Amino acid sequence: MEYQEAEYLISYFPRLMTESERDGLFQYNYHYSRGSVKGGSDQVHLEWIKEFLEKKYGYNENINSIKKFDQCYEFLITQIAQRICRDAPNEFKLNLCPNCGFIARTPYARQCRKCSFRWHDSIAGEFQLDSAFKIEKDNLYFIGDIFKGEIEVGHLIDLTKFQLNIITEIKEIGICTESMNKFKIGLTFLKIEIDPKEEVYILKHFTRPGRTIMILKEEV
């Protein structure tokens, strides 16, 4: 895995890191930004983080995690990403340019930073989230407003921005009415089918209003 892809994976799917990996990177970035490590060299900094993790987690119990901190920062990021690829290959999705295969800047980016290819025509619109509810088995409802574009049944809701490898078809679109318990009257709902394994995470993290979800005409 290239460094740019590893950096993307760590940045947009941090939930896939282990606790020691998260702690190590947090401490690295925090103390690097404050200039807390004497000498300022990458290797000195990594040695400090390694000592911190040894004290917190114990070297013997976390030998593989600690050993990642024996090398430079780019090597560390790549090693963590490779571990994620090995242990959770179906839990993430990289946003790759359909023209040259280079990694995009963000999950919702639609212009390649390497070859400048654009694929904005794959976007149907944007949906501004108010809340999410499950009221039927394996069906989830996203409640909110259509923010941009025109959204139709059969379009795809893209949740990769939210640490999920989910790009799934919209099964139903409608307006919330009085008979729909818990829904705010007048808002739009999008109905999708969801894997029960992802349900808990979605219902936990999609309760804050104002998030914008990208809707695709087709998966690229």
Q: Is 80 among the domain residues?
A: yes
Does 31 reside within a domain? yes
Q: Are residues 128 and 192 in the same domain?
A: yes
Q: What is the pLDDT along the chain (220 residues), one digit of tens a residue?
A: 889 999 999 999 999 998 878 877 776 665 555 454 444 456 666 666 667 666 665 544 455 555 555 556 788 788 889 999 999 999 999 999 999 999 999 999 999 999 999 999 999 999 998 887 776 777 888 889 998 999 999 999 999 998 999 999 999 999 988 656 566 788 999 999 887 777 777 777 776 678 899 999 998 7
Query: Encoding tokens for residue 164?
Result: 């999920």
**In CATH, what number is assigned to the domain containing residue 205?**
2.40.30.10
Do 20 and 65 contact (CB within 8 A), yes or no?
Answer: yes
Domain count, the chain: 2
Question: What confidence score (pLDDT) does residue 57 get?
Answer: 57
β partners of residue 85: none
Residue 58's domain comprises: 3-87
Say yes or no: 129 and 67 in one domain.
Answer: no
Rounded CA separation 66/73 (Å): 13
Examine residue 71 and state whether it is found in any structural domain, yes or no.
yes
Report how far residue 70's alpha carbon sits from residue 84's, in angstroms, rounded to the nearest whole number. 19
Q: Structure pTM?
A: 0.78
**110 is a domain residue:** no
Predicted local confidence at residue 195, as pLDDT:
79
Please work out, in degrees rounded to the nearest 5, the angle formed at the alpha carbon of residue 215 by the alpha carbons of 212 and 148: 65
Residues 80 and 130 in one domain: no
Kindly state whether residues 82 and 130 are assigned to the same domain.
no
